[in-house]
Chains A and B, each alone.
Chain A
Amino acid sequence: MNRDSAGREVSRSRRGFLNTLLSVSAIAWLGSVFYPITRYLFPPESHEANVRSVKVGMVGNFEPDSGTIFKFGRKPGLLIRTPEGEFRAFNATCTHLDCTVQYRQDLGQIWCACHNGKYDRAGNNVSGPPPKPLEEYQVTIKDGEITVSS
């Protein structure tokens, strides 16, 4: 048995119970303050539907041996026309640290300016820091119009 400040005996279990009650409510109180704040800090999911395919233009608009950035939803895509006239499309986001890549005619490669990363025309990382190939999209051509889809 413990004594309280006035010297009365207080049962240990009653004190323990009160302490637990107090701690639990303190934690609940902190939670009810910080939970909403934390949730608030995370932005809500965007309601924009994820784009699965886009039309990027007519075959005739693209020179052989050239690259063009197009909008793939909110992300940049890169459409390449090889010197042989074939089309390939990639996610233009560098697999290293998120910069946007470009096609370099003089190198015949896809190049990232941020840290001099290089990919070949098939999107394979060939030199510099990029750890993985670029994500490739499907290209379909119907009636001369190019469609890129993931």
Chain B
Amino acid sequence: MTKKPVTKALFKWIDDRFQIQDLVEFLRHKQVPRHGKSLWYYFGGISLFFFLIQVVSGILLLLYYKPGEDSAYEAVQFITAEVEFGWLVRSVHTWAANLMILSAFIHMFSVLFTRAFVKPRELTWITGTLLLFVGLGFGFSGYLLPWNELAFFATKVGTDIVGAIPFIGDSALQLLRGGEDVTGATLSRFFAIHVAVMPAIFTLLLSVHLIMVQRQGMSEPENWKKLPEGDKRYMPFFPHFLLRDLLIWIVALNVLALLAILWPSELGLKADPFLPAPAGIMPEWYFIFMFQTLKLIPAHVLFMEGELLGIFGFGLGAIVWMLLPLWIGHKVRSSTVSLLGILVIIYIVGMTIWGFLV
């Protein structure tokens, strides 16, 4: 690299103090395997990109948003109707939320199918699943913030399910809602969770996740690893992979802008606890598969309440999924892993479509 004298001097100034030459060497020599499945590598980066968009657009929304039963809906209305480009900022925040979750799901399954989660990357997988769960929490808590009818009843339903847990259900419900019912107190809580608690936890997990990825390098798919040394093709991380990453981010930004402009998010009617629930109450699409499953379980299964069984099922499922690398190691055949992944995808996609249809 040829550097202009100023840059060179600056680099030397910093290097003298922080010894960053090592880091540059590391980046210069870092290689990324190149193969047919390379495309899937980008979805982690895309999820990251959408998260950054969420941070920026979320902070912009914060400048005008006012939590509270009497002010939240009005503030969002003000943002979309009066603030210049307010509708765009809000629309970007809603769309990027959906795209972030979607690309995180894709990222997770591509990690599963390429078997990149087995030793030594167990902790990367675990932090990754936690990131997805926190992402879902972001979506759930953000959904209530505009305080419209749809969000109000969806949150009532979503939190009421928690109340079914034996022994601690009532306390958990109180804790989550800030009282017995979904009220302004719930809104304040969700606001604090959405803009302070979740960002802190997410940032922490994300840093750990990314540091581990950098430290270990990208995994090499099995059949690619078996190739003779000469046939393995690599791409330098810096600048090649990074530039492609940037290119894809630009594509992602364009897709986001297109969606946000063509289908700006709607606000609907203000929540009113003294109006009946309107038709068409739905959780966000990424919760529908769970919701549809809960609907299918009969009210009573043996001695248990159906909902309870559902909650336990999903809780257990989430834990098993998070700890997948503990059950599935190198010895398990890749076709078995792929089958598992395909079954889970069929289940999630199938239930989601079903949920939308009925």
* Chain A residues packing against B (C-beta within 8 Å): 41-43, 46, 69-71, 74-76, 92, 94, 97-102, 112-115, 129, 131
Task: Tell me whether B279 and A42 are in contact (CB under 8 A).
Answer: no
Task: Tell me whether B295 and A92 are in contact (CB under 8 A).
Answer: no
Task: Tell me whether A114 and B174 are in contact (CB under 8 A).
Answer: no
Q: Which of B265-296 contact A (CB under 8 A)?
A: 273-281, 295
Interface footprint category on B: 20 to 34
Known: A114-B153, A115-B295. A43 touches B174 (CB 8 A): yes
Task: Tell me whether A69 and B174 are in contact (CB under 8 A).
Answer: no
Complexed CA–CA distance, A39 and B280 (Å):
38
Task: Tell me whether B278 and A98 are in contact (CB under 8 A).
Answer: no
Q: Tell me which of B157, B175, B185, B274 contacts A76 (CB under 8 A).
A: B274
Known: A69-B276, A113-B281. A98 touches B160 (CB 8 A): yes
Q: Which residues of B contact A76 (CB under 8 A)?
A: 273-274
Interface centre among B181, B276, B277 (most CB of A within 10 A): B276
Q: Which residues of A contact B175 (CB under 8 A)?
A: 41-42
Task: Tell me whether B274 and A97 are in contact (CB under 8 A).
Answer: no
Complexed CA–CA distance, A102 and B276 (Å):
6
Q: Tell me which of B157, B183, B275 contacts A98 (CB under 8 A).
A: B157
Residue interface mask B49-65, A partner, CB < 8 A = 1: 00000000000000000
B179 within 8 A of A: yes
Task: Tell me whether A114 and B277 are in contact (CB under 8 A).
Answer: yes
Task: Tell me whether A99 and B157 are in contact (CB under 8 A).
Answer: yes
Kindly provide the distance from the CB of B128 to the nearest chain A CB, expressed in whole angstroms.
29
Task: Tell me whether B295 and A129 are in contact (CB under 8 A).
Answer: yes
B219 within 8 A of A: no
Task: Tell me whether B179 and A92 are in contact (CB under 8 A).
Answer: no
Known: A43-B185, A129-B299. A100 touches B277 (CB 8 A): yes
Known: A42-B175, A98-B156. A69 touches B295 (CB 8 A): no
The 3 closest A-B pairs by CB, nearest first: A102-B276, A99-B277, A98-B160
Known: A43-B178, A97-B157, A129-B299. A113 touches B275 (CB 8 A): no
A75-B181, A129-B299 given. 20 additional CB < 8 A pairs? A43-B179, A43-B185, A46-B179, A69-B274, A71-B274, A74-B183, A76-B273, A94-B277, A97-B156, A98-B157, A99-B153, A99-B277, A100-B273, A112-B277, A113-B278, A113-B279, A114-B157, A129-B295, A131-B299, A131-B305
